[in-house]
Structure 1
């Protein structure tokens, strides 16, 4: 089968012929229809410091996908050949304290699809049945292909109650844009999004932002004045990983405010912890999705009319992967889709 492979420990990706994945009695073989390009995939292509530590070559990349079930193992129940499915890209041990307690998203031994094992940038991908999400309701293939990052957005945005709250989102990348739509749909009063990319801020506006603020020439204090806020933001969703964004967020939270942090900083940075203590701010780290409560919430949100389609800005055939990756690496794009049926 054809697949996008990190063949060697060097920058670049290769479109190659590789064997179809083997499956066991508890596994599902999926014919991939479409995939989304993630920042993780860009790191692996560039072969940066993180990728050199995390990845062993050769490796088939990709963890955002939708496909059609082609084969099920003998022990698989409730999944049928022909089902339209996406996949939870975090494979957990099932044996640790958190897994046994049903908190699988907290597993210390998580293996990432397309990072620690061969992934979905291929004509076929194999997953344990427990990691397969069957789309029972009708869903657009492009949207189904990005259920993984959509789950990051939902997990982060719904970490705290949002009805009637004033929300600030730092970082208008694809997940920040989807979180904007979720927060607006979930009943937030104001949703302010910050970034330095005007094209991405425009996507945030299309997703429902009350105010999309370019922080290269303004700050959150100005956003508060423009919206008439008196005491600061109630909920912060940090998607950028940028020290200056985190500090600006903390400075503009109300006393008792709550911050969910998904953005991964490139390095350590100082923070005014005395302000966090005296303002009684709650900070929660977010990684991945809650299995499978977040997946259920995603499906229900879409059934309830949530529209995240503005986040998808381009589609390519998989053989055009180099152009697709180049566009995904810009500060202008949303989600980029690869079509594996062409």
Structure 2
């Protein structure tokens, strides 16, 4: 089968022929339809310092996927060939304190596909049956492919009750935009999103986020009067990992405000902790998704009318992986999805974000 592999400890990925994965008794084999490109994949492709410290080559990369079950292990009883599924990419030990308490997302021994384990950028992948999420209602395959980052957004946005609250989101990347959409869908009064990219802020506006701020030109405090805010924001969703964004968020929170922090800083951040203390702020770190409580929430949100499909701005065949990764690294795109189906790519003049969606 074909797979996109980090073959050597150096920049770049190669589309090469690899053996079919082994299907253990507790596994299922999935024919991959679509995959999404994540920031982690960009780190691995670029072979930056993080990748050099955490990745062992050779490795099939990728962890955002959907596909169809084509083989079921002998010990699997509740899954069937033909089911359309997405995959929880975090493998947990099942025996640590958190796992035994039912908090698998807190497993201290978590391993990830496409990072510690061969991943999803391939024609087929074998995964434990316990990591499979079955789509039991119609879901666009492109959307099903990004359930992993959608889960990050939902997990973050629902850390605190948004109903009737004023929500500030820092970072208008795909996950930040999805988190803003979730907060709005969950009944927030005002949702404001900030970024440095006009293109990404324009995407957020086009998807229904009413107030956007380019913090290179405008301060968050400048929108208070427009939104009739008197004391600050009730909830903050920090999705950027940027020190200035977190400091600006803290400065604009009301007393007793709550911040959910998903963004991963690339270096230490200095904070005015006196502001945190005197304003009695809560700052909660967020990682991954609750397995599988967040997945239930994702499916229900889609069934209740939330539309995240617009956050996908670029579609490519897996044979165009270099162009796909370039789009994902551009800083102005939303989610980038690669197809592993046998659909013919469009002519060169229509590639990238102008792709017609391939057939489901």
TM range (shorter): over 0.9
CA drift at 1:74: 0.9
Deviating 4+ runs (over 4 angstroms): none
> Which runs of 5 or more structure 2 residues have no equivalent in the other structure?
343-360
Cα RMSD of the aligned pairs, angstroms, is 0.6
1:290 — aligned with what? 290
Q: For residues 17-40 of structure 1, give each alpha carbon's deviation from its aligned partner in whole angstroms, at most 9, with x where no partner exists.
A: 000111111001100000000000
1:233 — aligned with what? 233
3-state SS in 2 of match to 1:175 = helix
Distance 1:310 1:277 in 2: 39
CA drift at 1:320: 0.1
Distance 2:139 2:305 in 1: 12
TM-score, normalised with respect to structure 2: 0.94
Distance 1:199 1:229 in 2: 27
Tell me, yes or no, if the aligned pair for 1:180 and 1:208 is still in contact at 8 Å: no
CA drift at 1:310: 1.3
1:266 — aligned with what? 266
Q: For residues 167-215 of structure 1, give each alpha carbon's deviation from its aligned partner in whole angstroms, at most 9, with x where no partner exists.
A: 0000000000111111111000000000011110011112321201111
TM-score, normalised with respect to structure 1: 0.99
1:59 — aligned with what? 59
Q: For residues 223-264 of structure 1, give each alpha carbon's deviation from its aligned partner in whole angstroms, at most 9, with x where no partner exists.
A: 222212000000000000000000000000000000000000
Q: How many residues matched?
A: 342
2:355 — aligned with what? none
CA drift at 1:121: 0.1
Distance 2:241 2:131 in 1: 28
Distance 1:195 1:311 in 2: 16
1:133 — aligned with what? 133
CA drift at 1:279: 0.4
Distance 1:203 1:95 in 2: 43
3-state SS in 2 of match to 1:313 = strand
1:32 — aligned with what? 32
2:250 — aligned with what? 250
Matches within 5 A, 1:14-163: 14-163=14-163
